[in-house]
Amino acid sequence: MKKRILASIISVVCVGCANDTDDYIETPLPQQQADLRDFDSDGVINARDKCPATPSGARVNNNGCEELIEVAQEQTLKILFENDSAEINPVFAGQIEGMAEFLNQYPETSIEIQGFASNPGNKEYNLELSRNRALFVQDKLIGFGVDPNRVTIIGYGEDEVEDTNPTEEALERRVEATVIGFKGDFIREWTIFTKLPK
């Protein structure tokens, strides 16, 4: 008798399942108005991120852009010449190559090469000689891969200082230039793994 009652209950339940006419309703998907993902993992969602390719570990502002700090470096060039000569002494080759590397490292910079001559001799001749000295240095820089459009030369001729001291006179026969390169570097975000200088 108990078995018959149990069988009847099971059949009623199964019949109830078969006769269920309600349609299945899928879980509704949320209507997102903005992309809440963060592709560059900087903590700012894509919808607000104005710098979507932030370097890893950079400290960012509210727009997701890395905070930059400007780094400045200075490079100088000073080459001395023999009297009445525009030929570059091989001793200065390394200095010229170093300046070329600096210019290539800071491609937004340009250089003005200034040529000078000592007092003895004709002023017009010394002016041309000073220009030729600057021109020779320019050619060397271009030979090391510096774009000619980034290099200008000026011949100043004789120095304003009138000194008959041979040592001072030798220092007047020169080419010089100073270049300051600026490069932005991002500030790194501090984490518990950051090592502080001791």
Candidates 81, 78, 59; CA nearest to 69 is: 59
pLDDT at 161: 46
Most confidently modeled range among 11-25, 41-55, 125-139: 125-139
Report d(CA 106, CA 73) in Å as an integer.
9
Q: Mean pLDDT over residues 168-172, rounded?
A: 75
Predicted TM-score of the model (pTM):
0.56
pLDDT at 194: 46
Q: Sorting pLDDT into bands at 50, 70 and 90, what band is 164?
A: low
Which fold does the domain 71-186 belong to in CATH?
A: 60s Ribosomal Protein L30; Chain: A; (3.30.1330)
> Where are the domains positioned within the chain?
71-186
Candidates 151, 146, 171; CA nearest to 79 is: 171
> E-assigned strands of the chain?
68-80, 111-117, 151-158, 174-186
Candidates 184, 117, 118, 112; CA nearest to 150 is: 112
Residue 32 CB neighbour total at 10 angstroms: 9
Q: What is the pLDDT of residues 29-48, one digit of tens each?
A: 777 666 678 777 777 777 77
Mean pLDDT of the chain: 77
Candidates 140, 148, 137, 96; CA nearest to 113 is: 137
pLDDT at 28: 75
Report d(CA 108, CA 179) in Å as an integer.
11
Residue 121 CB neighbour total at 10 angstroms: 14
Report d(CA 180, CA 71) in Å as an integer.
10
